[in-house]
Amino acid sequence: MATHELRRPFKRPAISDQQRRREISLQRQAQNRRDAQHQARCLASTILTLQPAQYEPTEPDLQPQSETELIPELEIESQEQRRDLRDIDDVIQASRLKGVEARQWFAKQLMLPEWMIDVPERLNTDWYVFARPAGKRCFVVSSNGTTISRLRNGSMLHRFPSALPNGARTSKSSQSGQSYCILDCIFHEPDQTYYVIDMVCWAGMSLYECTTEFRFFWLNSKLVETGACDVPSSYHKFRFSTVPIYNCDQEGLNAAYTGPVPYVKDGLLFCNKHAHYQSGNTPLMLVWKDENCSQYVIDTDSKGQVPNKQQVVLELLFDGKLATSDDPPVIFGCLNEDFIQKTGLQAGNLLRFAISDGGLSFVDGKLEKADLHYLGKPNRARAFADSYSKVIFQYTVRHSSLRIEHIYASMSLSSEQGNKISDLDMAG
Amino acid sequence: MSMPISYGNFISLDINRKKIAMEVTQVLLSAQAVDATVRKHAEDTLKQFQDQNLPGFLLSLSGELASEEKPIESRKLAGLILKNALDAKEQHRKYELVQRWLSLDVAVKGQIKACLLQTLSSSVPDARSTASQVIAKVASIELPQKQWPELIGSLLSNIHQVPPHVKQATLETLGYLCEEVVPDVVDQDHVNKILTAVVQGMNANEGNNEVRLAATRALYNALSFAQANFSNDMERDYIMRVVCEATLSPEVKIRLAAFECLVSIGSTYYEKLTPYIQDIFNITLKAVREEEEPVALQAIEFWSSVCDEEIDILEEYGGEFTADSDVPCYHFIKQALPALVPMLLETLLKQEEDQDQDDGAWNLAMAGGTCLGLVARTVGDDIVPLVMPFIEENITKPDWRQREAATYAFGSILEGPSPDKLTPIVNVALNFMLTALTNDPSSHVKDTTAWTLGRIFEFLHGSTMETPIITPENCQQIITVLLQSMKDVPNVAEKACGALYFLAQGYEDLGSSSSLMPYFQEIVQSLLNVTHREDAGESRLRTAAYETLNEVVRCSTEETARLVSELVQVIMAELHKTLEGQKLSSDEREKQNELQGLLCGCLQVIIQKLGASNTAKYAFMQYGDQIMNLLLRVFACRSATVHEEAMLAIGAFAYATGPNFAIFLPEFYKYLEMGLQNFEEYQVCAVTVGVVGDICRALEGKILPYCDGIMTQLLKDLSSNQLHRSVKPPIFSCFGDIALAIGENFEKYLMYAMPMLQSAAELSAHTSGVDDEMIEYTNLLRNGILEAYSGIFQGFKNTPKTQLLFPYAPHILQFLDSIYMEKDMDDVVMKTAIGVLGDLADTLGSNAGSLIQQSVSSKDFLNECLSSDDHLIKESAEWARLAISRAISV
């Protein structure tokens, strides 16, 4: 006859410490397994491996993965820098970088549009268009309860609390310690708003290898949820906003070009729907402007004046060649050794030139000759040489520009015949 | 498993039966002889007989049991051996025995069963009782197979027989039968008849006390069959009336059995109690005050069970009752409170002198205090004003019983009422308690006082409390008193250690602001002193001291990291000492073993603590070699098994050491293998499986040379029927750990691991039962399987061998479909499962895209996970969504 089980005498301890040790051990193992899984998952998903912070290698030589796998996109000039940057395989860590290192690192992460010097094929089916807000292009990183924005050259714009995931020290965000975000933004001074033009990482998830289509979808569905688009408060210093994005058909282009927006426009941005987020210059994102949609069509000098002659910034290579910031670079000319020695210039220096009366000459769509006149070094804040497309765009603006009608026209053309407008037409 | 015997065999057996039967009696008697040689010989003969001719063996045992001419000793043992031939504790063995019985010739079984039923009419009580138990065992095998349909009918026909002893034996059999078989194999018609017979037997009209007792005990087991009858008002009223009447029987055994029925009804039929609760209250109140102790204990137990029910209901629904709540809370305890609490407080004064030294003690005072604690958890604040006057009145009385009862009452109500209600009282009481712990002349009072302080710290001290009861000002006094108390008699010192344990635990989340840290060194030294007390073996004092030391280390901060490092050396020295003894007696060996366990446990906690701190880790790692060597020597102390605590310590050590653990692996490996082979102590096996995971993560690719051995052992473990099932899910997870560590090198294990995973997946796809425990296990199994898949996919990612996994993808997607459809997975499985969907897409890329799009439920599953409230599920789902979008877009 079974009797009712006696109760555990009340004054005995409820669980043994051994059982507790087992449980703590199991919890630790489960957590380690999750971390290992998470690490594995993030490896291929991103060019910036997103390892959780506690997974930093305990010793410098224990780096388990080859560096090429980790940071293939980092364009690193010198061996010295390479060593400095190798250990920084983590956005969170990168966001903790200080000074020069931070600038160097962040400067290389933004996706930079080429200038539209010809109209791409299938523009009306494969591309988005939107009016670009005028302002400071920057990366906004939220992590560890704070939000930091960095300009294109890597320097910090603001450090502030935000409603982005883990963007402020509030009880709400504390539950997701590893969570962080990276947004590609333009800070628009007049209304003190960050206009988000792309989403790079969201809530710890990398979107680098996702298509533009997906990133924009994610951006539009996630950003509002967090309350980041709400009016500023003490835990949310700046408002964030999305921009209206259109399919680049006649209607969409028209809306982007002429439609009212709450910000000052600075040209139109065209984004290929299938492109992944790629740091550096890319022909899959294009900027185009004319007087109707931008105050700054022609570059100004440091005094805000449009110079008589177009100015370009090129990088001096070790062999004296003058290169654009493209990869591979386009060579605009060569300085002779005497000149270099006389002026004390060094490889890697950025140099400012004016395009003289000889202008640019093209053969078969390729730059053949440039008539350059050395002016000096550019502003220190410059981190990059001009891109080829920028130089050409500015050149065509001054000579025979690609006008909005051309873009409209190309759509009807491309939809009918898939016609290609060659570079030569443009260079005039 | 024996084959069914042929007809020919049976005939020849029958011819020899008489001779065998003659011999069997003698052998059975010899098997109980005082002389060990005689006994051993008889046991061997029995075993031989059983091995050579099982049917004949069982037949002669049943014949022996049934035979009235045989001595009772041989009949009883025959019955016992028969019973053991039908059932075993160990699941695997039990299954074998069941299969063996089912495969016996029908005629043989028929003859055995006839003998058993016949024995129920025996004039010898022990023979009847033994037969009852064997019948129930046979029934538990045959009724689920729809065999022996006539059993219940023939038992019930016995009820109407005149000799009361037959009736008694039959009721007893029905009771055992209800205990052994699950309710759904007995049809309602039979249930009705069984209950009718049982309740009639319990009735006050039944003149024979033996019959009434057997009936009352039978009802206890039959209650779980009575769902339908308890839903019928008339039948339920009748059963309740009979049970309540039986509590008033002049025979104490009947009253006890009747109260046991009430306890069971209180939890099984809680929702039906309303009409009876007032009567039951009166009955139990009287019993607690007047009854013999065993009966009074059951009367208290009734209220404890009702508390259990109400606590469960209130926890589950949080006090909010909607139309779909299964069972509402009737607040019986709240209603009974004004009378129940005084009754329980009275019991507290009935302590036994030596209860604090006796581990198994269970008396009125303890049961009453336990129930009071449950009542406090059930009703919360309402209990406080009812108990406070009792405390105030008694706590200063000269009689130790009154002071102890008052303290015990206070300690009992500390869990349940809100901190708002308790904090002001505790603030006043704390000082009093500290004084009592120092000065009270009675050890009983000091024991309970220290325990009460522990409860105060457990429930009212911690980072979540709004008003802290411990301030930097009183902290010093508390610690001084507790450390002093640790020098008291062992049982008081043990409680003081316990109080310190909870005091430390309350600072766990506070980090550097912990007021305990200034006293860290003093506390550690006092605890070490306790472990060295000569009498530390009493009242589990040594264990309590080490456990408290562990907790103090767990809650320590960066500032004391240096002191913790110093503690490592002390513990290592202690551990070293345990290794010095040579040629130990078995008693000494057991003590050595226990002490090593405590020391390894402590090392584990320290390693984990220091390993988690980057600064402390390097300082601590200088002892790495020494620690590992000591642990290896602890392993070497035993020849056949490995020490679980040492294994746990190794896991923590491997995690803290990282890739450098590789140098220890050659020497450690044999113990790892030994641990994986330990089927008997499945906890050891489970812990070792966990350590394999730790080592995989620490060594990554460098574990490869050991993987053949490890995988072989893990696969053996999985195929074993002997290994406890709880170890199997972690073994699957461990496959994932290995695959993640060695990547595409896992290729050669795929052909073994994948079919195992696949068949386990099929088994766990559907939970067949309503059994919560089974669903929980199934979910553990699913999680293990899914973690294996995750690890394998991620391990193969970006290698040329990913296509090897492609053939498995359809099955895995199907598995995900079926567990999604089943709708009974828990959050952990959901998170892992959606992760696997992502891993599959991530690794197989566009190859998997179309499969995923074709799968029945991937999309719904993903959407459900994306909208989950669980942060981890959502995170996995968002990742999976990205991986899938990539796979599909390529």
Tokens describing residue A207: 């979107």
- Check whether B618 has a pLDDT greater than 80: no
B441-446: long-range contacts, CB 8 A cutoff, minimum separation 24? B441/B400, B442/B400, B442/B403, B442/B404, B443/B356, B443/B488, B443/B489, B443/B491, B443/B492, B444/B351, B444/B356, B444/B400, B444/B404, B445/B400, B445/B403, B445/B404, B445/B407, B446/B485, B446/B488, B446/B492
Is there a contact between B451 and A62 if contact means CB atoms under 8 Å apart? no
In this prediction, residues B584-607 reach a mean pLDDT of 89
What local confidence, expressed as pLDDT, does residue A101 receive? 58
Query: Using the beta-carbon criterion (under 8 Å), do A10 and B659 form an inter-chain contact?
Result: no
Average pLDDT of the segment spanning B169-182: 93
Smallest Cα distance from A11 to chain B, Å: 7
Q: Does B873 touch chain A (CB under 8 A)?
A: no
Contact: B304, A7; criterion CB under 8 Å: yes
Query: B113-122, B251-260, B429-438, B715-724 — which is least confidently predicted?
Result: B715-724
Higher pLDDT, A411 or B81: B81
Mean of per-residue pLDDT scores for chain A: 74
A274 interfacial to chain B (CB closer than 8 Å): yes
Length of chain A: 428
Q: Which residues in chain A are contacts of B601 at CB distance < 8 A?
A: 17-18, 21
Residue B480 or A201, more confident: B480
Contact B791 A29 (CB under 8 A): no
Q: Which residue has the tokens 């995690």?
A: B655
What is the dihedral angle through the alpha carbons of B777, B781, B787, B793, rounded to the nearest 10 degrees?
Answer: -160
pLDDT tier for residue A6 given thresholds of 50, 70 and 90: low
* Burial classification of residue B149, based on how many CB atoms lie within 10 Å of its CB (0-12 exposed, 13-18 middle, 19 or more buried): exposed
**Whether the predicted pLDDT of A295 surpasses 90:** no
Tell me whether residues B886 and A210 touch, CB distance under 8 A.
yes
Q: For A205, which of B217, B790, B879 is closest by C-beta distance?
A: B879
Work out how many CB contacts closer than 8 A connect A with B: 141
Contact list, A210 vs chain B (CB under 8 Å):
882, 885-886
Report the chain A residue with the minimal C-alpha distance to residue B687: A22
Out of A41, A62, A204, closest to residue B842 by CB: A41
Predicted pLDDT at A102: 58
Question: Residue B257: is its pLDDT beyond 80?
Answer: yes
- Which tens digits make up the pLDDT trace of A100-122? 555 566 666 778 888 888 888 88
- Contacts of residue A28 in chain B, CB cutoff 8 Å? 608, 652, 655
By the CB < 8 Å criterion, does A29 face chain B? yes
- Assess A203–B contact: CB distance below 8 Å, yes or no: yes
Q: Does A165 touch chain B (CB under 8 A)?
A: no
More confident position, A414 or B346: B346
CA-CA distance, B442 to B105, in Å (whole number)? 69
Please name the residue of chain A whose CA is at the shortest distance from the CA of residue B838: A41
What pLDDT is recorded for position B552?
Answer: 93
Spatial contact of A314 and A324, defined as CB atoms under 8 Å apart:
yes
Contact B605 A36 (CB under 8 A): no
Instruction: Tell me the residues of chain A between 277 and 316 that have a Cβ less than 8 Å away from chain B.
Output: none
Of B690, B798, B680, residue with least CA distance to B734: B690
Stretch B840-849: mean pLDDT, rounded?
86
B53: left (phi over 0), alpha (psi -120 to 50) or beta: beta
Q: Cα separation of A93 and A88, whole Å?
A: 6
- Interface touch B651/A29, C-beta < 8 Å: yes
* B417 prior amide bond cis, ω within 30: no
Distance CA A32, CA A45 (A): 20
Q: Which residues of A touch B261 (CB under 8 A)?
A: none
Contact A1 B217 (CB under 8 A): yes
Write the CA distances from A32 to A20, A35, A140, B241, integer angstroms: 18, 5, 30, 59
Substitution target from A6, A15, A20, A25 for chain B, most B beta carbons within 10 A: A25
User: Is B882 close to A207, i.e. CB distance below 8 A?
Assistant: yes
Q: Please report which residue ranges of B269-331 form alpha helices under DSSP H.
A: 277-290, 293-317
Residues of A whose CB is below 8 A from B791? 37
Point out which residues pair with A242 in neighbouring strands: A196
Nearest residue in chain A measured CA to CA from B412? A10
Choose between A234 and B431: higher pLDDT: B431
Check if B301 contacts A (Cβ < 8 Å): yes
Percent of chain B residues topping a pLDDT of 90: 66
**Of the candidates A1, A33, A214, which has its C-beta nearest B733's C-beta?**
A33
* CB–CB contact B658 A58 (8 Å): yes
Q: Do A205 and B878 touch (CB under 8 A)?
A: yes
Predicted model pTM: 0.67
**Is 70 exceeded by the pLDDT of residue A53?**
no
> pLDDT tens digits for B32-62?
988 999 999 999 999 988 988 999 999 999 9
Q: How many C-beta neighbours within 10 Å does residue B334 have? A: 17
The answer to whether B444 and B399 have CB atoms below 8 angstroms apart is no
The residue with tokens 């999604």 is B820
| Alpha-carbon span A204 to B210, nearest angstrom | 73
* Mean pLDDT for the stretch of residues A316-345: 84
Q: Kindly list the residues from chain B whose CB atom is less than 8 angstroms away from the CB atom of residue A64.
A: 700
- The band of B612, judged by pLDDT with boundaries at 50, 70 and 90, is confident
Contacts of A275 in chain B (CB under 8 A): none
Note the pLDDT tens digit of each residue in B204-226.
Answer: 888 899 999 999 999 999 999 99
Give me the pLDDT at residue B882, please: 85
- For the stretch B422-427, contacts whose Cβ atoms lie closer than 8 Å and that sit 24 or more positions apart, written own/partner, are B422/B384, B422/B459, B422/B460, B423/B460, B423/B465, B423/B467, B423/B469, B425/B384, B425/B388, B426/B456, B426/B460, B426/B469, B427/B469
- Find, in chain B, the residue whose alpha carbon is nearest to that of A57: B658
Residue B547 has pLDDT above 90, yes or no: yes
Could you give the percent of chain A with pLDDT greater than 90?
11
- What is the pLDDT confidence band of residue B623, given thresholds at 50, 70 and 90? confident
Q: What is the pLDDT of residue B814?
A: 93
- CB-CB neighbors (< 8 A) of B543 in chain A: 17
Rounded mean pLDDT, B493-513? 87
Q: How many CB atoms lie within 10 A of CB B96?
A: 14
Nearest to A211 among B544, B597, B889 (CB): B889
Residue numbers in B near A17 (CB within 8 A): 543, 546-547, 550-551, 601
Average pLDDT on B243-258 reads 95
Does the pLDDT at position A43 exceed 60? no
Which residue spans within B750-847 are E strands per DSSP? none
- CB contacts of B451 in chain A (<8 Å) are 11
CA dist., res. B397 & res. B392, Å (int):
10
Q: Does B264 touch chain A (CB under 8 A)?
A: yes
Q: Helix crossing, B36-52 with B54-66: angle to 10°? A: 120
Residues of A in contact with B694 (CB under 8 A): 29, 32
Inter-chain CB proximity A7 and B871 less than 8 Å: no
What is the pLDDT, as a whole number, of residue B544?
94
Residue A105 pLDDT: 65
Q: How far apart are CA A102 and CA B507, in angstroms?
A: 38
The stretch B59-84 carries a mean pLDDT of 94
Q: Residues B311-368: pLDDT tens digits?
A: 988 887 765 555 455 678 899 999 999 999 999 999 999 998 888 777 777 889 999 9
The type of residue at A202 is W
Edge to edge, the sheet with strand A127-133 lists: A111-115, A280-288, A265-272, A127-133, A246-247
Confidence at B449, pLDDT banded by 50, 70, 90:
very high
Mean pLDDT computed over B627-656: 86
Asked whether the predicted pLDDT for residue A15 surpasses 70, the reply is no
Query: A25 and B301: CB-CB below 8 Å?
Result: no
On whether the CB atoms of residues A250 and A408 are closer than 8 A, the answer is yes
Handedness of CA A41, A46, A49, A51 (dihedral sign): negative
Q: Does B611 touch chain A (CB under 8 A)?
A: no
The one-character DSSP state at B185 is G
**What per-residue confidence (pLDDT) applies to B319?**
52
pLDDT of residue A200: 85
Contact with chain B for residue A2, Cβ under 8 A: yes
Average pLDDT over residues B294-307: 96
pLDDT for residue A376? 84
Q: Which chain A residues have a beta carbon less than 8 Å from that of B614? A: 58
Give dist(CA B334, CA B387) in Å, integer: 14
Pick from A315, A284, A317: nearest CA to A391: A315
CB-nearest to A45 from B697, B791, B882 is B882
Residue A3 pLDDT more than 80? no
Query: Chain B contacts of A6, Cβ < 8 Å?
Result: 362
Higher pLDDT, B619 or B419: B419
- For chain B, give percent helix, strand, coil, nearest 5: 80, 0, 20
| A401-415, B29-43, B80-94: least confident range | A401-415
Percent of chain B whose predicted confidence (pLDDT) is above 70:
95
The partner residues of A156 in beta bridges, in order of sequence, read: A150
Compute the nearest-CA separation of B657 from chain A (Å): 10
